[in-house]
């Protein structure tokens, strides 16, 4: 009588499933042979289910890796954005510096005994802004930079640096967890300086603040506003990622 051997062997990366038991179906009654066939089919189904479980596990791992890749890409974009902001600030300060500045309007910083920089109390517009930026970019003294930006806005309300000062002040206040005050500074950029290159970033930050405060619908409206008014920009790309996670 012809012998029927069913061998099941499934191999996936890292996992090898054992072969199903070999059953002889050529002897015994019809009922016994049916029972043997059922056992073979059960073993086959169990192996298939194990394979499906393994595939699902691998899909989860791939999804997790994809999420980490997107997170790293976002962090890299944040770093690149910060570098762009630094270069933009340098370009603006150089462009705004007069060729022959008057001694009475621009104060030269001097070095103290410890090698640090001291600023005159009679700072000009460029030096006052430079002092605040230096506290952020170089010294990392964010708490000290907050009053410097506020003082700059009060002393030079017509300066071309004012929208940027509002933006940086909002960033610092946000980092300190003062969300309501940060919101005021970003709103000032959005409403008072429509031509500022910080306006798109400020709308994005207003959405992030709303998200932090649990106002999902408001956050969504800000993110959509960035995408609508500044398509294909860095803030729009970040807004799209935020929308996807709302």
Range list of β-strands (E), 41-146? 110-111, 117-118
What number does CATH give the domain 112-244? Answer: 1.25.40.10
Q: How many residues does the chain have?
A: 246
The domains of the chain are located at 11-58, 112-244
Angle at CA of residue 98, ends 96 and 100, nearest 5°: 165
Per-residue model confidence (pLDDT) at position 27: 58
Q: What is the mean pLDDT of residues 110-117?
A: 40
Q: Which residues 6+ apart lie within 8 Å of 66 measured at CB?
A: none
Per-residue model confidence (pLDDT) at position 105: 34
Q: Which residues 6+ apart lie within 8 Å of 24 measured at CB?
A: 3, 4, 36
Going by pLDDT thresholds of 50, 70 and 90, the confidence category of residue 176 is: confident
* Least reliable range by pLDDT among 47-51, 56-60, 145-149: 56-60
- The radius of gyration computed from the CA coordinates of the chain, to the nearest angstrom, equals 32
Q: Which residues 6+ apart lie within 8 Å of 143 measured at CB?
A: 176
Rounded CA gap, 176 and 245, in Å? Answer: 24
* pLDDT tens digits along 74-108: 766 666 666 556 555 544 543 443 333 333 333 33
Per-residue model confidence (pLDDT) at position 125: 84
Which has more confidence, 5 or 82? 82
Q: What is the mean pLDDT of residues 17-36?
A: 59
Measured between alpha carbons, how far is residue 59 from residues 15, 66, 71, 241 in Å? 15, 10, 18, 22
């Amino acid at each position: 009588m012809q012998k029927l051997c069913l061998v099941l062997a499934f191999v996936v990366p890292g996992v090898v499933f054992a072969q199903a038991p070999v059953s002889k179906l050529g002897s015994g009654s019809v009922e016994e042979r049916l029972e043997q066939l059922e056992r073979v089919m059960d073993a086959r189904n169990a192996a298939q289910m194990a394979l499906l479980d393994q595939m699902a596990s691998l899909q989860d791992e791939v999804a997790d890796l994809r999420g980490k890749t997107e997170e790293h890409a976002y962090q890299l974009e944040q770093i690149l954005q910060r570098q762009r902001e630094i270069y933009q600030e340098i370009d603006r300060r150089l462009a705004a510096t007069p060729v022959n500045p008057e001694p009475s309007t621009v104060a030269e910083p001097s070095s103290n005994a410890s090698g640090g920089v001291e600023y005159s109390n009679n700072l000009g517009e460029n030096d006052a802004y430079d002092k605040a930026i230096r506290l952020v970019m170089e010294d990392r003294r964010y708490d000290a930079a907050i009053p410097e930006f506020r003082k700059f806005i009060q002393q030079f309300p017509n300066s071309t640096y004012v929208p940027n000062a509002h933006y940086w002040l909002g960033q610092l206040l946000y980092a300190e967890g003062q969300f309501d005050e940060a919101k005021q500074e970003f709103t000032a950029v959005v409403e008072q300086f429509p031509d500022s290159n910080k306006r798109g970033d400020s709308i994005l930050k207003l959405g992030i603040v709303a998200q932090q405060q649990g106002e999902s619908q408001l956050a969504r409206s800000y993110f959509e506003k960035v995408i609508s008014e500044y398509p294909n920009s860095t803030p729009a790309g970040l807004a799209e990622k935020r929308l996807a996670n709302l």
